[in-house]
Amino acid sequence: MSEICRICQFKLNEIIHFGKMPLANAFLTQEQFDHEYFFDLILCICPRCGMLQLQYQPDPKEMFHDHYAFFSSTSHKMSEHFLHFANDIKNTYLCHKKDSFIVEIGSNDGIFLKNFLHTSIKHLGIEPSLNVAKVAQENGIHTLSDFFSKNLSTQIIAKYGKADVITAANVMCHIPNITSVVQGVIELLHPDGVFIFEDPYVGDILEINSFDQIYDEHVFYFSVTSLQNLFQQFGLEIIKVEPQKVHGGSLRYTVAFQNTHHIDTSVHYYQRKENSQRISDPHIWKQFQKNVHEIRDNFITTLNDLKKQKKSVVGYGATSKSTTVLNFCNIQSDLISYICDTTPIKQFKYSPGTHIPILPYSEFQKNKPDYTVLFAWNHFDEIMQKEIDYTNSRGKWIIFFPQVKVL
């Protein structure tokens, strides 16, 4: 248990205790039911630096290994997102330089770095989950299968030199020892270079009550304010903040060594906004806690009503996020008969903790249910486009943010 802040060692304040949780991506077989791992999922805030974080996070080696279930490339929209991201970086930071070098932390199956193949820009991915790293390697993407750290930075420099750009998407918030990652970035980054990363934004979580973002892998929930507090300890500063529509509302942060780059007005905009929202004030999060309990009660009532009416109800997208919702609400297969998902490694397994069967997408296509809970709500536009026939033939969708609603 870490009852003190991982950034400034101040005593944490508890915001919400979700109870016992399994690992969000630990989809399992029936034989594994008896040995399932659970931990206490408790969201806290540091009253000093404002960083939201989990009180306890399981050992990263339990979560990121050779059978990690999350493959970034399952979403076309995310592929497009990373193509634009790569183009932005090429045009803004790499176009003026010969022999430039980009490193990605948490490169997964190569969804981002594939955009640097067949260019003059050297690239390197760091990806500890061996099975996803292998997919990238098989596609020609240079990938080291390891956890990023200061030590690894030293090895990278010896072999490839300093990086002009370091990126990380949806991974900084995963790493409990974040100060060691920042030290690794300082070591590896060229003095004029930039570190660009994106993660779900705590402001969006607060605004739409998306408590399903809270699970084992996400040890931190960043705001601009809390990140500034972190970076200034290391001589770095945020020079630009850009909102992103992905993962239910994210921010992209561009970070550089202090006084080397112009500070964009977006940084001041977010600082002012967060100040007026009092995003770092533990009292603001009390209302969030109330909203979360209300969503839980309404969701359970809605599903119980549908069961009484003998309606068929399934889930769409066996997301990591769904693990928090299902376990917090204790929803089992009597209320949601299965969850369809396009990821082969999840199929014919069961959801962590509540043991709802995960079936291929073809099951949903064959037998259209009366109601579908949209667990992959962050892909709303993509899925609504794909399922227009279901919706037009009176298929109903259940969403739960900002409150439970049947569409």
CB–CB of 104/170 below 8 Å?
A: no
Distance between CA atoms of 135 and 98, rounded to whole angstroms?
Answer: 29
With CB under 6 A as the contact rule, the residue among 14, 342, 355, 399 that binds ligand TYD is 342
Q: Which does 129 bind (CB under 5 to 8 A by kind): ligand SAH, ligand TYD, none?
A: ligand SAH
CB–CB of 105/168 below 8 Å?
A: yes
With CB under 6 A as the contact rule, the residue among 79, 177, 183, 343 that binds ligand TYD is 343
Please name every residue paired with 359 in a beta bridge, in sequence order, or none if there are none.
Answer: 340
3-state SS class at 21: strand
- 40-48, 102-110, 259-267, 329-337 -> range binding ligand SAH (CB under 6 A): 102-110
Residues 355-384 that bind ligand TYD (CB under 6 A): 361, 376, 378-379, 382-383
Q: Tell whether residue 147 is a contact of ligand SAH (CB under 6 A).
A: yes
CB atoms within 10 A of CB 100: 22
Residue listed under structure tokens 């990263």: 60
Residue nearest to ligand SAH (CB): 106
Distance between CA atoms of 125 and 212, rounded to whole angstroms?
Answer: 28
Cα 168 → chain centroid: 11
Q: Which does 68 bind (CB under 5 to 8 A by kind): ligand SAH, ligand TYD, none?
A: ligand SAH
Structure tokens that stand for 405 in this block: 């609603």
Residues 385-404 that bind ligand TYD (CB under 6 A): 386
Q: Which does 223 bind (CB under 5 to 8 A by kind): ligand TYD, ligand SAH, none?
A: none
Residues 159-218 that bind ligand SAH (CB under 6 A): 169-171, 174-175
* Residues 391, 394, 398, 404, Cα dihedral to 10°: 120
The dihedrals phi and psi of 393, each to the nearest 5 degrees, come to -95, 35
Q: Tell whether residue 341 is a contact of ligand TYD (CB under 6 A).
A: yes
Q: Tell whether residue 317 is a contact of ligand TYD (CB under 6 A).
A: yes
With CB under 6 A as the contact rule, the residue among 27, 70, 195, 350 that binds ligand SAH is 70
CB of 50 to ligand TYD, least distance (A): 24
Tell me the angle at which helices 224-232 and 265-277 cross, rounded to the nearest 10 degrees. 120
- 106-114, 232-240, 277-285, 332-340 -> range binding ligand SAH (CB under 6 A): 106-114
Burial of 61 (0-12, 13-18, 19+ CB in 10 A): exposed
Q: Tell whether residue 319 is a contact of ligand TYD (CB under 6 A).
A: yes
Distance between CA atoms of 206 and 196, rounded to whole angstroms?
Answer: 24
Give me the residues that bind ligand SAH (CB under 6 A), please.
Answer: 60, 64, 68, 70, 72, 105-106, 108, 111, 126-129, 132, 147-148, 169-171, 174-175
Give me the residues that bind ligand TYD (CB under 6 A), please.
Answer: 70, 74-75, 317-321, 341-343, 346, 361, 376, 378-379, 382-383, 386
